[in-house]
Chain A
Amino acid sequence: MVSKAEEAELNRLETQVDNGGGGAWDYLCLIRKLKVRRSHKVLNYGLSILNDSRKRSGLGQEEWTLYEQVAIAALDCQAIDVAKDCIKVLQKKFPQSKRVGRLEAMLLEAKGLWAEAEKAYASLLEENPCDQIVHKRRVALAKAQGNIAGAIEWLNKYLETFMADHDAWRELAELYISLQMYKQAVFCYEELILSQPTVPLFHLAYADVLYTLGGLENLQTAKKYYASTIDLTGGKNTRALFGICLCTSAIAQLTRGRNKEDKEGPAELQSLAATALEKDYKQRAPHKLSLLSSVLKGLKVSP
């Protein structure tokens, strides 16, 4: 996660470097530290440092880190030749390195030689079965080929060992959703909520999936999680407000004709959500207010 202060620092450095104010190396270091994806910029500024032999030797040992960074950025930009040159230099410097081996496998991957890349990753994993990056590359490889089921399989294998890696759980949840395997996705989102209970995004996504699954129990749970999203965001999440309205009307439809013992509570929540929505629309998009009221009317919600 990139904090606000770090992002501000990054943007400041970016404008400074873009306008020729120097500090390219600091900018590249910050990109590396925050793990943000600015491949074109890294390629431009990294190469300008690498092509200047005086600047390059000024880096000392960091030179090789820069080579690696530029190689990866080049792969991302499909500048295969640049990447190849960088990797060649690294290969010469560190002949036996697995890190360079990983870069070579990524080069194969970028060229679209899936089978070779796969083989390279497999052999890397054989040497060091705990290499998280290689595991993840393999998932990405399967995903790039459009083989979502394969990606899920690799990811599951990875999570068997590294089960506290919440980014992997998130990826898995999204993959499952893309295959409409909502039950599995629900499990992944639960895992995410467990690891980071105060991130509203996960609550929201969890509620979305539960709502999609349908059924009275799931709808009720979904409503709770929409409510917790609103709680965590301080009422600023429009999607969650809509979610409350949708859930309540869906529940009302399912329970029609049954005894109406706790009818009062939900209706109140719904009308509160609808009021909040109307107020929000009035403030930020007044011309769409009529749309909103017709939608709410369709849901039989009256603010």
Chain B
Amino acid sequence: MAEDLVLDTAIRDWVLIPLSVVMVLIGVLRYFVSKLMRSSPVPDAKVVREGQIVLRARNLRSAANFIPHKSFRSRRIYYGNEENGLLYVPKGQAQNAQAQMFSDPNMAMDMMKKNLSMIIPQTLTFAWVNFFFSGFVAAKIPFPLTQRFRSMLQNGIDLSTVDVSYVSSRSWYFLNLFGLRGLFSLILGEENAMDDTQRMMQMSGFGMDPTKVNIVSLYCIVF
């Protein structure tokens, strides 16, 4: 492009900076809200016991050669007999993970709280950005980029002639959304950083394990 676009300084004062400030403030606010709503998990005695049984059985398996054969046999029966063995679960009673998740209202509740504190402000800010600042260029980055970055930096502008180094306001919003993590970890402490990016990954389903798929599907149903 021969002639550069000139951006009004009012855009900097009224779009670029307010957008960033608002994103930071919302992040901080969300941190406190989620802190308020977080309920400390009370471990269920039964779940704890099951975990301990499995641990002990694993010890037995790995160190079986270290105790006399008689002791090993008595323990094996203690764990595995078909009437009241510790590890024996009658057929049909075994719950799969998903059913368990549905049967436990607390779990769904926790998940909903977590998602509420994240999805509502995000939708609202997105709507706000879309409504007020849609469709104009908010900033220019000082180096040239290839065409592939167009969808990342010029979201909301459908002009193929604009140079890629111009950033649209909606893209500025997204850049803030993902880029402020480091700042949050500075303000709110390491472990408290709002891990938007990771949660976003979880949501949209990049390379995740089956348990997480369950969470996502549950989230879809709950919502």
Contacts and interface: CB of A to CB of B under 8 A. Distances in A.
Interface string A153-191: 000000011111100000000000000000000010011
Nearest to A129: B45
Nearest to A159: B52
B141 interface: no
Interface string A126-149: 001110000000000000000000
Contact of B43 (A130, A160, A187): A130
Contacts of B55: 163-164
A163 B45 contact: no
Contacts of A195: 56, 59, 63
B66 interface: yes
B49 interface: yes
A226 B56 CA distance: 25
Given A130-B43, A161-B48, A193 B67 contact: yes
Contacts of B161: none
A194 interface: yes
A130 B48 contact: yes
A162 B63 contact: no
Contacts of A197: 62-63, 66
Contacts of A163: 49, 52-53, 55-56
B71 A190 contact: yes
**Max chain A CB contacts within 10 Å: which of B62, B63, B68?**
B68
Nearest to B86: A163
Interface in A179-224: 187, 190-191, 193-195, 197, 221
A130 B155 CA distance: 52
A162 B71 CA distance: 21
Contact of A161 (B45, B63, B67): B45
Contacts, number: 48
Contacts of B63: 193-195, 197
B165 to A, nearest CB: 45
- Counting chain A residues whose Cβ lies within 8 A of the other chain, the interface size class is 10 to 19
Interface in B46-66: 48-49, 52-53, 55-56, 59-60, 62-64, 66
Nearest to A187: B71
A105 B66 CA distance: 41
A194 B66 contact: yes
Contact of A162 (B42, B48, B59, B67): B48
Interface residues of B, number: 19
Contacts of A165: 52
Contact of B60 (A128, A129, A194): A194
Contacts of A160: 49
A130 B67 contact: no
B52 A162 contact: yes
A194 B45 contact: no
A301 B56 CA distance: 41
A232 to B, nearest CB: 11
Contacts of B62: 197
B161 to A, nearest CB: 56
Contacts of A129: 45
A204 to B, nearest CB: 13
Contacts of A191: 56
A162 B45 CA distance: 9
Contacts of B45: 129-130, 161
A228 B66 CA distance: 9
A161 B53 CA distance: 8
A175 B64 CA distance: 25
A162 B49 CA distance: 6
B124 to A, nearest CB: 33
B8 to A, nearest CB: 46
A193 B66 contact: yes
A206 to B, nearest CB: 9
Interface string A118-132: 000000000011100
Contacts of A128: 42
B52 A194 contact: no
A164 B67 contact: no
Contacts of B59: 164, 194-195
Nearest to A210: B68
Given A194-B59, A194-B64, A195-B59, 13 more contacts: A130-B43, A161-B45, A163-B52, A164-B52, A164-B56, A164-B59, A190-B71, A193-B67, A195-B63, A197-B62, A197-B66, A221-B68, A228-B66
23 contacts: A129-B45, A130-B48, A161-B45, A161-B49, A162-B48, A163-B52, A163-B53, A163-B55, A163-B56, A164-B55, A164-B56, A164-B59, A165-B52, A190-B67, A190-B71, A191-B56, A193-B63, A193-B67, A194-B66, A195-B59, A197-B63, A197-B66, A228-B66
Closest 3 CB pairs of A and B: A164-B55, A197-B63, A197-B66
Interface of A: 128-130, 160-165, 187, 190-191, 193-195, 197, 221, 228
